[in-house]
Amino acid sequence: MITDFEKSDKMMARAQELIPGGGHTYSKGLDQSPKLGPKLIERGKGCYVWDVDGNKYLDWAMGLTSVNLGHAYKPVLDAVRAELLKGSNFQCPSPVESELAEYFISQVPGAEMVKFAKNGSTVTTAALKLARAYTGRKYVAFCSDHGFFSYDDWYIGKKPNNAGVPQEITDLSLTFRYNDIKSAEELFAKYPGQIAGLILEPMEFDYPQDNFLQKLRDLCKKNGTVFILDEMITGFRLGYPGAHSALGVQADLTTWGKGVANGFSCCMLAGRKEIMNLGGINHDKERVFLISTTHGAETHSLAAAMATIKAVKEHNLVERNIKMGEALRQGLQDGLKAAGLSEYITVKGHPCWLLLQFRDAKKEPSDGFKTLVMQEAVKHGLLFRGTFVFSLAHGDKELQKTIRIFRKIFKTYKAAIKAGGYSAFLVGEPVKPVFRKFN
C-alpha cells in the first residue's frame, strides 16, 4: 500500500507559494487529485512513473494524454538528442520544419499546409482567426459538450471562471450541443451569414450519431462557415491519422497536439491552402498575423513529432490499442457485474480512451466517489484520473494488473455505497471542476 507523500506534500506547498496554482495547467492542480496521492512526479519510464517520495505507479494518465508511446521512449529521445547537438533555435527557419511539414501533410488527408506552435490554445485560436479573416465575419461557434479548447478569451468567456474577459468578447462566441444538429441549425438561423468558424472535437466519449459530423459539415458549407475539427487529444490516438478520418468526415482546418510528439511541446494547425495561406507572405491580400512564436519551431520538438508519428504508424498503435481497450472494457465490466456496481459505474468511450463515470448511492453523478476511486488506485500503485490513456508501453501484464486492482477498488466502492456515502472512506475533499467561479 502506498501511503507516504511527505516530501511530495512539502514540495507542493512550496510550489504554491512560487507558482499560481502550483503548476502550469489547472488540470495538474491540487484540487484535481486526492489528498492521499502524489503531488509531484519526478520521472517516468514506459508506462510507469515515480513521485518525489520514490513511490512507483502504473500510469493511466500519461501526461494528460500527451504521451502515447511511453515515457522516455528511446527512438524519440534519440531524435531529440540529434537535433539538440546542432542547436535548438536560429535566426532562420531550420530544415526540420519543412521536413516535418511535408511528412505530416503526406499523412493527413485534407492538410495542404501546416503551421507549428507550442500549445493547443495557440492553434485553436489561430484557426478561428483564420476563419474570421477568410469569411469577414465576427462570430465563432464551439461545442459546449467538449472539454478544453483554449485558455483564450473566446472560449473562457463562456465558462464560469471568466474573470478578466470583456463581455464584448464573450458575446462573439456561440455554442451548440454534440449530436444535436438542431442546436446548430438554430444558431445559423439566428445568425445568418455571420458565423465565421465552427469548432468541435470529432468525438470525446460519445460517438457521433445519425451522421452528425457529416450533417454539421454540410451545414457549415451551406452557410459559408469554416468547419474546424480539434484533434488535440483524438489525433493519432482514436484513428490514424485522426478520429475524423476514422469517422469519415473532412474539415477545412484541423488542430493537433497531444498525440504528435510523445510529451514534447509541438502542436499543429493544418488545412486547406486557400485558408491557411492567408497567414503567409506571398499573396497580395490583406495580411493575417497568424502564428508568430519564437519557440514554435524549436528543432528538437519537431524532431520528436517526426519520430512519434512514424512510430505510431510503424507499430499500428491505434489498432493495437483498440484491442487492448476492448479487453480492458470487458474486464472492468465483468468486475462491475460481479461486484453489483453496474448501475453505479459506467465504462464508456472509444477503446483507446475509456472513461469511467461514477454515481453515488442515489445514482447521481459524484465527484466524491470519483475521488475515492482515484485515492484507492494510488494505494495500489495506479495513477488514474478518470480515464484510461493507452500507450505503446502498456502491455497485457499492465492490463491484467489493472483489472485485478479495480476489482479490489470495487469492493471499497460497494462498501461506500452500502454506507450511503464516501465520507467515511475518503481522506480530504473531493476533486473539483476546473471550470468554476470561485476556488
Domain residues of the chain, as ranges? 6-72+316-419, 89-297
Residue 18 is inside which H or E element, if any?
A: helix 6-18
pLDDT of amino acid 383: 99
Whether residue 112 is predicted with pLDDT greater than 90 in this model: the reply is: yes
Supply the DSSP symbol for 236: T
DSSP 307-339: HHHHHHHHTTHHHHHHHHHHHHHHHHHHHHHHH
Q: Which residue has the cell 479548447?
A: 149
pLDDT tens, residue by residue, 369-390: 999 999 999 999 999 999 999 9
What pLDDT does residue 155 have? 98
Q: Which residues contact 61 (CB under 8 A, 6 or more apart)?
A: 383, 384, 385, 387, 389
In degrees and rounded to multiples of 5, residue 425 shows phi and psi of -115, -25
Residue pair 49/383 in contact (Cβ under 8 Å)? The answer is: yes
* CA dist., res. 130 & res. 282, Å (int): 16
Mean pLDDT of 37-47: 98
Taking residue 237's Cβ as centre, other Cβ atoms within 10 Å add up to 26
What value does the mean pLDDT take over residues 321-336?
A: 99
Query: pLDDT tens for residues 196-242?
Result: 999 999 999 999 999 999 999 999 999 999 999 999 999 999 999 99
Give yes or no for a contact between 141 and 227, defined as CB atoms under 8 angstroms apart: no
Distance between CA atoms of residues 306 and 284, nearest Å: 33
Size of the chain, expressed as the number of residues it contains: 439
pLDDT band at 147 (very low <50, low <70, confident <90, very high): confident
Across the range 176-190, mean pLDDT stands at 99
pLDDT reading at 363 higher than 90: yes
DSSP, res 287: P
Contact 375, 36 (CB under 8 A): yes
- The three-state secondary structure class of 138 is coil
The half-sphere exposure of 160 on its side-chain side, counting CA atoms within 13 A, is 7
Confidence (pTM):
0.97
Grid coordinates given for 72 = 522516455
Query: Residue 362 forms beta bridges with which residues?
Result: none
Q: What is the mean pLDDT of the chain?
A: 98
Alpha helix (H) residue ranges in 289-427? 299-314, 317-339, 367-379, 396-419
Q: Give 387-432 pLDDT, tens digit per residue.
A: 999 999 999 999 999 999 999 999 999 999 999 999 999 999 999 9
Helix residue ranges per DSSP H, 206-297: 212-223, 243-246, 273-276
SS3 393: coil
Q: From the centroid of its chain, how far is CA 387?
A: 11
CATH fold, domain 89-297, is Aspartate Aminotransferase; domain 2 (3.40.640)
Q: Does domain 6-72+316-419 have CATH number 3.90.1150.10?
A: yes
At position 31, the amino acid (one-letter code) is D
**Of residues 282, 220, 251, 226, the one with CA closest to residue 112:** 251
Cross-strand bridge partners of residue 231: 256
**For residue 178, which of 139, 207, 221, 218 has the smallest C-alpha distance?**
207
- Fold: same for 6-72+316-419 and 89-297: no
Side-chain-side CA neighbours of residue 218 (13 Å): 6
DSSP class per residue in 159-199: SS--TT--HHHHTTEEEE-TT-HHHHHHHHHHSTTTEEEEE
As given in the structure block, the three cell numbers for residue 176 are: 451548440
CA-to-CA distance for 78 and 303, rounded, in angstroms? Answer: 9
Q: What is the pLDDT of residue 309?
A: 99
User: Are 288 and 279 contacting, i.e. CB atoms less than 8 angstroms apart?
Assistant: yes
Residues 39 and 383 sit within 8 Å (Cβ to Cβ): no
